[in-house]
Amino acid sequence: MSRRGYLGLGSNVGDRRANLQAVVQRLPRHGVTVMRCSSVYDTEPVGLVLDQPEFLNACIEIQTEHEPAELLAACKKVEQEVGRHSGGRARPPCDRC
């Protein structure tokens, strides 16, 4: 069954725009079709870790056959492919695809 949903994207390291574009380009390789992309926005960090660079954020509309757990696994694979490394610090949830 095909499912439609939305993913929030964010990057605050390196070439932030290129990082977001890399995620959008790689998702289809993992069974996630990107239907539409929002504009991108600079946002200040919020939450527990405020001493970090500003984020570039966007939202994408997706379509996939994946169940939720499979979608999460696909997103985590894409994160690894584009070079995201989990650090010891708490990260805001918008740092994930």
Could you report the per-residue pLDDT of 39-80, keeping only the tens digit for each?
999 999 988 888 999 999 999 999 999 999 999 999 999 999
What is residue 94's predicted lDDT score, i.e. its pLDDT? 44
Please state, in angstroms and as integers, the Cα–Cα distance from residue 24 to each residue in 18, 64, 75, 81, 95, following that order: 10, 14, 10, 12, 14
- Per-chain mean pLDDT for the chain: 89
Please report, rounded to a whole number, the percentage of residues in the chain having pLDDT higher than 90: 77
Please state, in angstroms and as integers, the Cα–Cα distance from residue 16 to each residue in 2, 8, 54, 66, 80, following that order: 30, 14, 10, 27, 15
The answer, yes or no, to whether residue 88 has pLDDT greater than 70, is no
Phi and psi (nearest 5°) for 62? -125, 165
- Tell me the CB-side half-sphere exposure of residue 31, using CA atoms within 13 A: 15
Name the amino acid, one letter, at 33. T
Cα 5 versus chain centre, distance: 13
What is residue 96's predicted lDDT score, i.e. its pLDDT? 47
What is residue 84's predicted lDDT score, i.e. its pLDDT? 82
How far apart CA 78 and CA 28 sit, in angstroms, is 10
Band (pLDDT 50/70/90 cuts) for residue 92 is: very low
